[in-house]
Structure 1
Amino acid sequence: MDGRGFAARYGRYAGGPDPLAPPVDLAEALEAIGHDVMAGYDPERAMREFLRRGGRQQTGLDSLAAQVAARRRELLQRHSLDGTLRQVRELLDRAVLSERQQLARDLDEDARFAELQIENLPASTSAAVTELAHYPWRSAEARETYQQIRELLGQELLDQRFAGMKQALQGATEEDRQRVQEMLSDLNDLIEAHRLGDDTDQQFADFMDKHGEFFPEQPRTVEELVNALAARSAAAQRMLNSMTPEQRAELLELSQQAFGSPELSRALGRLEDNLQLLRPGMDWGGSESFDGDQGMGLGEATGVMQDLAELDALSEQLSQEYAGARMGDVDVDALARQLGDEAAADARTLAELERALSDSGYLRRSSDGRLTLSPRAMRQLGRSLLRDVATRLSGRQGARDTRHPGMAGEPSGATREWTFGDTEPWDVTRTVGNAVLRTVGEGRDARRGVALDIRDVEVVETEARTQAAVALLVDTSFSMAMDGRWVPMKQTALALHTLLHSRFRGDRLELITFGRYAERTGIESLTGLEPVWAKGTNLHHALLLANRHFRQVPQAQPVLLIVTDGEPTAHLEAGGEVFFDYPPHPVTLAHTVRELDTSRRLGAQTTFFRLGEDPGLARFIDQLARRVDGTVVAPELDDLGAAVVGSYLGSRGWSARGFGLDDLEGF
């Protein structure tokens, strides 16, 4: 160290994604995607829908697109294109007024003739400026004001093609104007040589060495230079197209007076011709309708036209409706220019969400190229649904933790606070730890000893060793989808599946769907199942499959859970054909009841979950439940998962009301 110290500068990080930014939370996105998948969307479309809608604290593409559209409307409704024409008119009126005042003081005959010329100027601004091009001004103030018109026109015409040129030429000398003319001549020579296919690398380098000050963006190649100039020139042409025919004619005539000669206008026309030949695919013919009263100069109006083009490009990028669309297509720098840093940050977060969903393993490509939810995604989604179930169960009135572990219980791996009547063994480590924390919290020195308090005691939870064979029968008739019960049914199945495979791994779960036919299904297939219009609610076939499951695990306690919104209208006949009739045929009812009786003989604990308010269905389900000493639950759709999981927990000797979020630790 030499004692001089070091200077430090701080600014926005520009080396890619912010390394200190918190990782994106995929839980909400995965939950929304899973819901849409269950509703029938394919996962890729579901992901696109989430990005479009956004989350609870995340702005989505639709909101950003709405901001882009509002910004576009605001530009069109605020501005008008006649700013330069107004300014020229004001300068012309001021010059004419000064000249009239001078002529009124002069008494010679020439002054009278000049007064006639001034009084009979054309009404058209451009025609009047042209007629006064060679007028011998007597007023020095008028002459200077008229010269300002020529300077303004030159600056505006250059500002149209080279952003910032108007400010750069404020107070410019004749020598400065000559340097601009020389730059334009050299630029046209360079671009024409490039258009003809000549090797222009050295010519470009020489040009930038000589005229680089006019191009602060510092293009590195001729192509970059042409792209920048063509984009600006095309915007200038669209601006002209957006003027009224009268305004356009006025401006074209006035351009001949720029800097006092038509030379600048010719050089710019030559440049535009060259650029149109090199970039014919650009929008040279578009136009806009400006409705405001805030006049813009030619350079400013061209900049606004570029803004409008950039907003249109952003609108398309944010729509994500074209083939192969990805969030990485969104130009966040353009978004920051148009809407600010917050909008750009929202777009970056959405892009990171998309990238994280693709890279996290939650979505995978199947053999046929379709995007599907991976097993990892299913587990994560199931945990989310199960947490919601636990919240609902633990929030019920009168909830009390009343587990019934049984004498043959085994540790579950969890602990809980001791309550009167508990006979489970203490968890010594947790109990002593609680005592130490309480002692220190009360301000006493733990080194002098720790006294146990009944509040410190935690006991080891145990669970019954009895295995359960669980059959969840879910109605997949079209009425379930038609009445909005399709997604809650799937969520219920996934929550129960997650609970068994996480907390009760020894139990055997069979998922059985029943519409016109019944079939055993995996959780992945059920999650992606789409509704099919087919007549029939074949509970009989579903019970056949459930009883087969019970017989395959004879040592297990059978648990039968049936979710339905309709009476049985179909049964399976001896030959495997389906018999359907509506209203329910007595033979169908007989077959269904007979198979339900078989479930009872196998020892099944049966619970019916009746959906809907049909009185006939309620009477029928009640009769079936009484016949097999079962239970009927008529939950609201939002409470279906909690009802099914609660019924299962009850069959396992757990208090459903006491089941809460703490029971999900380690999932």
Structure 2
Amino acid sequence: MTGSYAYRRYSAGPDPLAPPYDVRSALDDMGDAILSGSTPLDALRDLLRSGLPGASDRRGLDDLLRAVRRRRGELRENTRLDGTLERVRALLDKAIGQERAELTPDEDGRFREALLDALPSDPARAIRELADYDWRSAAARRTFEELRDLLRREVLDSRFRGMREALADPDPAAMDRVRQMTSELSDMLDRDARGEHTQEDFDQFMRKYGDMFPENPRNLEELVDQLARRAAAAQRLLASLTPRQRAELAALMEQTLEQAGLAEQMCRLGDALQARRPDIGWGAPEQVSGHQPMGMGDAVSALEELADLGDLETTLRQDYPGARLDDIDEEAIRRALGRSAVDDLEALRRVERELEAQGYLRRHRGKLELTPKAVRRLGETALRRVFSSLESGRRGDHDQRDAGTAGEPTGSSRPWRFGDEQPIDVVRTVVNAVRRGGRSPVTLSVDDFEVAETERRSAAAVCLLVDLSYSMALRGTWAAAKQTALALQALVAAKFPQDAVQVIGFSNYARVLRADELAALEWDMVQGTNLHHALLIAGRHLDRHPDFEPVVLVVTDGEPTAHLMPSGVPRFDWPPSPETLTLTLAEVDKMTRRRATINIFMLAPDDRLREFVDEIARRNGGRVFSPDADRLGEYVVSDFLRARTRR
């Protein structure tokens, strides 16, 4: 057997041999934005707008949007809508000039000259009066017929794309077929309105008239969409002309359809299309400024494309409630930008779908949320950022010298889990390795390790109080506070699972924040820093864990300006009222009696705040830190690890 082979670049779609995209990279990119203060929805939109990380040949929504806007600009700059009127006037003047050249100076010639002089300036009325004129010049007669053929083709092409080619043959049978098609189409729409239409009816219609519809619709709905968009664009063409041009062209269209026997059918069809698609901008003018005149059919096509590009621009911006990539019309993308843009869009859709399918994102009541799985990964990322800034000698819990001293051994062992503080059971660990490997030298794996169980492990009740007030956003410290909360959550969950951690956010009032809320958390655009309420909630958490070591960490950029009244309603005062300060310090004293040290991380060089936190330190014995915002996580995590080391 012999054969020849040709190799070329694959262009039928995305590369089928390309490795699958690692959706975790997308989540990590989103995580950078989330840890910088964005919401999950904004982070996903930013990712989709900028394009996929590591895929330089794939465009994002911003690239597609720029291409759409560039195409709209080109159309507007190169489109002039009065081309048909200009061509009609030119042919009319040419026919009249040719006729005048053939006239003789006799009585008949003078009579004809007078008729031509008396023609109206309106092209439609002039053409109507010349319809029965007995042309003396054969050349003028041919020019006038050319004018009428032009109008017939352009008017019908403005309603049915590609009709100019279908009517290129002047055979009267072609117009009879158009009239028959229009009548059967209107009848089919009427049957559909009554619920009597079937797909077989449509298929039979397309077998007879499919050559008149180059877009090859697959069903009646697609055909209605195509015809309605074009009919609406024809109305926008008229609306975009000057009043005089609009009147002249409308009269020419009406006259042409009457002469073709299509006026009634076209009116019936237009009413049906507008009733079925009332939302596509019928009659809205379009601003164009081109210098190249276009025929009516081409002008309608340009306006139809401009409308599609306008809708496409709206969906590509994705800035409306509930926006999703599935809203973007793939066929509109293909028509406007080509197949490669469709592949780029599909790649973005795949990432959005995979983030949901792999359990990182979920939609709840129309709102995009991160799942606990995603929050854990973001917490690990935040923790890595914190540890990367610590000194090499203080990484991880290498300085946890009391590991394994939490209680008396029970005599039994169990498999090691990350975060365990119990001592390694060396004998059981080596036996497991021998059983697994069966030869010397013995090689240990993670699964071989076992730890000696103890009666009790020390645990801490950790309260992180995070200021959510508006000033945190104004000072640019909110992102650092959110990242710190995520890092501490991740540290406790991974390395100190026996600890009980609670994150409390406070602005005009305080509330407990679940782990899966932290990533989507935003600052509150309200007045008030209600540390009083936050300490109340933290105290209840400590009281629920009386045998745990209490750890209270406060991140704030302002002194207390609100407190919780007995009615449960927060009260705001600026400057802080004596009542606010008294109630807040009373909660500090309660913390002191619980043996809970309060360490405060002050994010603003405010004299009043400094005076207040110094008073807390004096009463409670805690410490005050003034870290830069970008080092907040390092300070908080280091302080927590230091406290765990002391215990």
TM alignment of 1:33-432, pairs within 5 A: 34=34, 46-47=40-41, 50-51=44-45, 54=48, 56-57=50-51, 75-76=75-76, 78-101=78-101, 114-115=112-113, 117-118=115-116, 121-135=119-133, 137=135, 141-170=139-168, 172=169, 174=170, 177-194=171-188, 197=191, 208-219=206-217, 225=223, 228-255=226-253, 263-264=259-260, 266-267=261-262, 269-277=264-272, 280-283=275-278, 285-292=282-289, 293-314=291-312, 317-318=315-316, 326-340=324-338, 344-345=342-343, 347-364=345-362, 372-393=369-390, 404=399, 406=401
Deviates more, 1:507-516 or 1:228-237: 507-516
Asked if residue 636 in structure 1 is aligned to residue 634 in structure 2, the reply is: no
Amino acid at match of 2:156: L
User: SS of the counterpart of 1:471?
Assistant: strand
The aligned counterpart of 1:473 is 464
In structure 2, relative to structure 1, the CA distance for the partners of 1:4 and 1:508 (3 Å cut) is same
How many residues are matched?
Answer: 581
1:450-471 Cα shifts (integer Å, max 9, x gaps): xxxxxxxxxxxxxxx9956363
8 Å Cα contact 2:463-2:553 kept in structure 1:
yes
In structure 2, relative to structure 1, the CA distance for the partners of 1:193 and 1:640 (3 Å cut) is same
Q: Give the Cα separation in 1 of the matches to 2:513 and 2:197.
A: 68
The aligned counterpart of 2:487 is 495
In structure 2, relative to structure 1, the CA distance for the partners of 1:594 and 1:214 (3 Å cut) is closer
8 Å Cα contact 2:81-2:295 kept in structure 1:
yes
Asked if residue 563 in structure 1 is aligned to residue 562 in structure 2, the reply is: no
In structure 2, relative to structure 1, the CA distance for the partners of 1:560 and 1:269 (3 Å cut) is same
Q: Give the Cα separation in 2 of the matches to 1:520 and 1:282.
A: 50
User: SS of the counterpart of 1:163?
Assistant: coil
In structure 2, relative to structure 1, the CA distance for the partners of 1:100 and 1:263 (3 Å cut) is closer
8 Å Cα contact 2:397-2:641 kept in structure 1:
no
User: SS of the counterpart of 1:80?
Assistant: coil
Query: What is the CA distance between 1:57 and its match in structure 2?
Result: 4.0
8 Å Cα contact 1:570-1:584 kept in structure 2:
no
Q: Give the Cα separation in 2 of the matches to 1:318 and 1:97.
A: 53
Q: Give the Cα separation in 2 of the matches to 1:267 and 1:571.
A: 78
Query: What is the CA distance between 1:90 and its match in structure 2?
Result: 1.9
Q: Give the Cα separation in 2 of the matches to 1:470 and 1:98.
A: 102
8 Å Cα contact 1:52-1:60 kept in structure 2:
no
Q: Give the Cα separation in 2 of the matches to 1:125 and 1:215.
A: 31
In structure 2, relative to structure 1, the CA distance for the partners of 1:607 and 1:149 (3 Å cut) is same
Query: What is the CA distance between 1:78 and its match in structure 2?
Result: 4.7
User: SS of the counterpart of 1:552?
Assistant: coil
8 Å Cα contact 2:472-2:557 kept in structure 1:
no
In structure 2, relative to structure 1, the CA distance for the partners of 1:209 and 1:91 (3 Å cut) is same
TM alignment of 1:611-626, pairs within 5 A: 611-622=603-614, 625=617
The aligned counterpart of 1:552 is 547
In structure 2, relative to structure 1, the CA distance for the partners of 1:629 and 1:200 (3 Å cut) is closer
Amino acid at match of 1:276: D
User: SS of the counterpart of 2:262?
Assistant: helix
1:365-422 Cα shifts (integer Å, max 9, x gaps): 77x997653221220221222233234446x9x99999546497899999xxxxxxxx
Q: Give the Cα separation in 1 of the matches to 2:8 and 2:42.
A: 40
In structure 2, relative to structure 1, the CA distance for the partners of 1:231 and 1:352 (3 Å cut) is same
Query: What is the CA distance between 1:500 and its match in structure 2?
Result: 2.4
Amino acid at match of 2:174: V
1:115-149 Cα shifts (integer Å, max 9, x gaps): 55555544333344444445555555444433321
In structure 2, relative to structure 1, the CA distance for the partners of 1:117 and 1:382 (3 Å cut) is same
Amino acid at match of 2:83: G
Amino acid at match of 2:82: D
8 Å Cα contact 2:463-2:552 kept in structure 1:
yes
Q: Give the Cα separation in 2 of the matches to 1:530 and 1:131.
A: 75
Query: What is the CA distance between 1:288 and its match in structure 2?
Result: 1.1
Query: What is the CA distance between 1:341 and its match in structure 2?
Result: 5.2
Q: Give the Cα separation in 2 of the matches to 1:227 and 1:572.
A: 60
Query: What is the CA distance between 1:496 and its match in structure 2?
Result: 1.0
The aligned counterpart of 2:639 is 647
Query: What is the CA distance between 1:191 and its match in structure 2?
Result: 3.0
The aligned counterpart of 1:444 is none
Cα RMSD over matched residues?
5.2
In structure 2, relative to structure 1, the CA distance for the partners of 1:309 and 1:529 (3 Å cut) is closer
Q: Give the Cα separation in 2 of the matches to 1:224 and 1:550.
A: 65
User: SS of the counterpart of 2:158?
Assistant: helix
In structure 2, relative to structure 1, the CA distance for the partners of 1:468 and 1:149 (3 Å cut) is same
Q: Give the Cα separation in 1 of the matches to 2:106 and 2:234.
A: 48
1:239-283 Cα shifts (integer Å, max 9, x gaps): 33444443344335545786xx9542x225424424524652334
Amino acid at match of 2:276: G
Amino acid at match of 2:124: S
Gap regions ≥5 residues in structure 1? 415-464, 655-667
Q: Give the Cα separation in 1 of the matches to 2:248 and 2:522.
A: 67
Amino acid at match of 1:493: A
The aligned counterpart of 1:22 is 21
In structure 2, relative to structure 1, the CA distance for the partners of 1:512 and 1:187 (3 Å cut) is closer
In structure 2, relative to structure 1, the CA distance for the partners of 1:223 and 1:503 (3 Å cut) is closer
8 Å Cα contact 2:602-2:625 kept in structure 1:
yes
8 Å Cα contact 1:472-1:493 kept in structure 2:
no
The aligned counterpart of 1:436 is none
Percentage of matched positions with identical amino acids: 34
1:130-176 Cα shifts (integer Å, max 9, x gaps): 44445555555444433321221122122122212324544x3x4xx
8 Å Cα contact 1:610-1:634 kept in structure 2:
yes
The aligned counterpart of 2:55 is none
User: SS of the counterpart of 1:162?
Assistant: coil
1:478-497 Cα shifts (integer Å, max 9, x gaps): 46657565554333121111
Deviates more, 1:641-650 or 1:375-384: 641-650
The aligned counterpart of 2:577 is 582
In structure 2, relative to structure 1, the CA distance for the partners of 1:161 and 1:609 (3 Å cut) is same
Q: Give the Cα separation in 2 of the matches to 1:512 and 1:470.
A: 13
In structure 2, relative to structure 1, the CA distance for the partners of 1:625 and 1:47 (3 Å cut) is same
